[in-house]
Amino acid sequence: MISQGAAAVRGLRLAQWFGLNPDDGFIGWLPLFHCGGDESLYATMLTGGTYATLRRADAATMYRMIERDRLSWTLLLPGVITDFLNHPARDQHDLSSLRFAIGYANMMPGVVRQLTAAFGIDFYDAFGQTETSYLLAHAVCHPGEEPTLRKLPSPLLDVRLVDDDLNEVPAGQPGECVVRGPSVMSGYLDDEKATGEAFRGGWLHTGDMLVGNDETSGRVMWRS
C-alpha cells in the first residue's frame, strides 16, 4: 500500500533529482502498476511535462515519438536497452532531445557505455523497490564512461546498513539495507504479519545485502 503522500514524495524526488521541467517528456512503455511507470508519471504531472504512453517497448515507435514530441527521458531495462541501442531505424530519426535514461548499469556495463556514447546521454544506475521507490539510490554514468557499482542514497530517505540486531555495520562489511522515510509504503494489503516482519525495529527491511564504501555528509556510499 502506497499512500497519496508517499506517491507525491516519490514524484517530487524524481523531479528534483533529474531537474525535470515542462520541456521534458517521458517515454512511458512501463505499465502503470510498476513503480517505474507510476512514479515517472507523478514526476511528469508535478512538473507539467509530457508523458507518452506505449502499449509495449518497441524501439522504432519510441524513436518516432521522441522525434515528434521531443521526449527526453525513459527507463531502459535489460531486454529493452539492447533493442533501443541497436535497432536499424535509429539513424533515421532526430533523437537529440533525449538527455538521460534510467536502468541497471551493473547488469550490463558494456551496453550502457555504448548507449551513452551513441546517444550522448547520461545513464542513471538505479537501485530500489516498489516498497520504497525505484530511486532509493543511484549512480550516474556520463557519455562513454564505464559504469560504477558505487551508489549514493537519494534525498528524503534514511538509509542504514545493519546486522541482524539492527546495529550499523562498519564500512567494508556487508549489512542489510534498511530504510525509512515519507516515500516508504504503508504496508502490505490485508497482511499484518508480512507488514510487521517487513517493518521490524521501525525500519523497512529491503532484504538486500550491501557493503558500505565511504561516508560523506552522513550519506552512505555502497557497492551492491
pTM of the prediction?
0.88
Q: In the predicted model, what is the mean pLDDT of residues 189-204?
A: 96
Indicate the average pLDDT of the chain: 91
Q: What are the residue boundaries of the structural domains of the chain, listed by start?
A: 4-223
Give yes or no for a contact between 116 and 146, defined as CB atoms under 8 angstroms apart: no
Q: How many CB atoms lie within 10 A of CB 71?
A: 23
Homologous superfamily (CATH) of 4-223 is ANL, N-terminal domain (3.40.50.12780)
- pLDDT (tens digit per residue) in 5-57: 999 999 999 999 999 999 999 999 999 998 999 999 999 999 999 999 999 99
